[in-house]
Each structure stands twice: as C-alpha cells, then as structure tokens.
Amino acid sequence: MSEAGKANQARLHAFVEGRVQGVGFRFFVIDLAYGLGLRGWVRNTYDGQVEVLAEGEREALERLLAELHRGPRSAYVTDVKATWEPASGEFIDFRIRPTS
C-alpha cells in the first residue's frame, strides 16, 4: 500500500445499543464490511450490545458508522458509541467473533 493509502487508514470501534441481538445485526455488519472492503470483526456482548471493530479507508468506515445507526430492518438502534483510532493493520478479513 502506498504511503497515501496508509495515511487514509483508520480504526472504528463501536458499540451498538438497542434491539440488536437476534435480529441479524452481525450478518448485516459482515455484508456491509465486505462490500466496503473493511477488515476486523463483529460480536454480540453479554450485556445485549453489538461490538464492531473495523479498519480500512476512513470514508468507508464513516459509511459503516452511518449504517450502524440504522441497522437491519428488524433491529431498533437506540445509540451507537464510537471511537476512532489509528489502524493497526492486524486484520486480513472481517469475521464474527464469539460473544464477549
């Protein structure tokens, strides 16, 4: 990757609240991530949220974040808490991780 491409890389860490488990939210995120060329993971949390850690182009991550606020049709999102960090480059694809 060129230096300009690396400079545009970022990491989004988000927690999605609401009716987001048991409604296909993780698969919704997987489809989005692949379509946007992102790497990282998504998982349910024991307290009923969905956690997303994604890396890629900042513009693609911003599109993912906008979609996290909407969710799939069967979900009801009440809040998304997101933080931005530098990309680590540690991921090669996007996966579902076990509940944590």
Residues involved in catalysis? 26, 44
> Number of C-alpha atoms within 13 angstroms, CB side, residue 11?
11
Strands 9-19 and 50-57 come out as antiparallel
Measure the CA–CA gap between 28 and 30, rounded to whole angstroms. Answer: 6
Nearest to 51 by CA among 83, 74, 73: 83
Phi, psi of 57 (to 5 degrees): -65, 140
